[in-house]
Amino acid sequence: MRHRVLLFAAGLAVVSGIETARALLAGRAVATPEEWQAATSQVRANLQPEDLIVFAPRWADPIGRLYLGDRIPVEMAARADAARYRRIWEVSLRGAQAPEAVGSHPVSTTHHGRIRVTLYQKVPIEVAYDFTSQHGRAHASEFPTDGRGNEVACYSEQSTLHCPETRVEPRILTVDFQPRRGLEFSTSPSHTTRLEFPEARLGKVLIIYTGASEYDTRKHLDAPIHIEVSIDGFRLSEIRHAPGNGWQLTSVDTSRWAGVRHVVRFEVAGAPGGWRNLGLHAEARP
């Protein structure tokens, strides 16, 4: 009994001591502006055009961009994935690792107080055609999904394609709370939007990312959106994007069309019951 009582008291003393000390010294565990300055200066000085900058853990991102945001264009911050980058600069706190760096080869690691800077090397994938970047060359039209009615051409204003019921515009989409650069289709329950790229140079693979771009709509609506992809009129793939699928990757073999320009068409049919926005980003890769 004596030992048990003293053990409880000792346990209380240890927990109390650790908790009080951690509370009073909490500020010492935080990276200082000088450390951020030193870490990001190293990245800035060695940055090359095909490099990606990431921060880990993800919640540190705004502070990282405070120091390096001028070197992180919107296209990089809202990337679909990290495939096209040759090197990755990972600025990390608390020993965290960015998911983009997993599987890449670390070339160098430097410590700046509480911040670690690691440079990773990887094999980049060349993008033959970026459909989001090339959206200005696309034509849009809209037709009733049930086939009872005519196809109507959409008009372009600034960078947005306006259709009677729907709209397509390049945006930063928020999919699963992450930024994703792509084309936003405001879908309609009754109409299908057709987006056609007349001269898309294809590679061996067509990568298509889809995502519902607004959490509110997912909350209220659970019917899937249908996306049909065709090349030169040949129906290549049908994608069903259901709520909860996140940033969904579909990869299609396009070897037989590789190296030449083709007509690529995306048809997006909204879910019955209401409107919802769909985000889409596609790339032709070798």
Partner 1 sequence: MISLGRMALWLGLMATASLALGGRTEGFNRDEAQYFDAGELYSQWYGELGEAIASGRFQRVRAQVSPEAIDRRFSFNHEHPALMKTLYGFSWRLFHRTLGWLSDAQAMRLPADLAGGLLVALVYLFGAQACSRRAGLVAALLTLGAPRLFFHAQLACFDAPIVTAWLGTIYCYWRSLTDRRWGFWTGVAFGLALATKHNAFFLPILIGGHWIIIAIVAGRRVEALPSARPLVWMALLGPAIEYAHWPWLWYHPIERFREYLNFHLHHVHYNFEYFGKNLNQPPYPFSEPFVLTGLTLPVTTLLLGLGGFGLLFWRWWRKQSAGRTPALLLAVNALFPPSIIAFSGAPIFGETKHWLATVPFLAIAAGIGLDLLSHRCIEVLSLRGRSAQAALALLVVMAVAPALAETWRAHPYALTHYNLLAGGPAGGADLGMNRQFWGYSARGVFPWINAHAPRHAGIYWHDASPTLNISVREGLLRADLHDTGLEEPGVRQADLGLVIHELHFNKYEHWMWDFYGTTQPSYVLADEGVPLVTVYERRK
Contact with partner 1 (CB under 8 A): which of 38, 44, 51, 77?
Answer: 77
Name which of residues 143 to 202 contact partner 1 (CB under 8 A): 171-174, 177-179
Q: By C-beta, is 23 or 123 nearer to partner 1?
A: 23
Closest distance between partner 1 and the C-beta of residue 207, in Å? 21
For the chain, what is the HEC assignment? CHHHHHHHHHHHHHHHHHHHHHHHCHHHHCCCHHHHHHHHHHHHHHCCCCEEEEEECHHHHHHHHHHHHHHCCHHHHCCCCCCCCCEEEEEEECCCCCHHHCCCEEEEEEEECCEEEEEEECCCCCCCEECCCCHHHCEEEEEECCCCCCCEECEEECCEEECCCCEEEEEEEEECCEEEEEEEEEECCCEEEEEEEEEEECCCEEEEEEEECCHHHHHHCCCCEEEEEEECCEEEEEEEECCCCCCEEEEEECHHHCCCEEEEEEEEECCCCCCEEEEEEEEEEC
Closest distance between partner 1 and the C-beta of residue 128, in Å? 26
Number of amino acids touching partner 1 (CB under 8 A)? 53
Q: By C-beta, is 71 or 86 nearer to partner 1?
A: 71
Site string for partner 1, 202-241 (x = CB under 8 A): ------------xx---x----------------------
Closest distance between partner 1 and the C-beta of residue 173, in Å? 8
Name which of residues 79 to 98 contact partner 1 (CB under 8 A): 93-94, 96
Residues that bind partner 1 (CB under 8 A): 1-2, 5-6, 8-9, 11-13, 15-20, 22-24, 26-27, 29-31, 57, 59-63, 65-66, 68-70, 72-74, 76-78, 93-94, 96, 171-174, 177-179, 214-215, 219
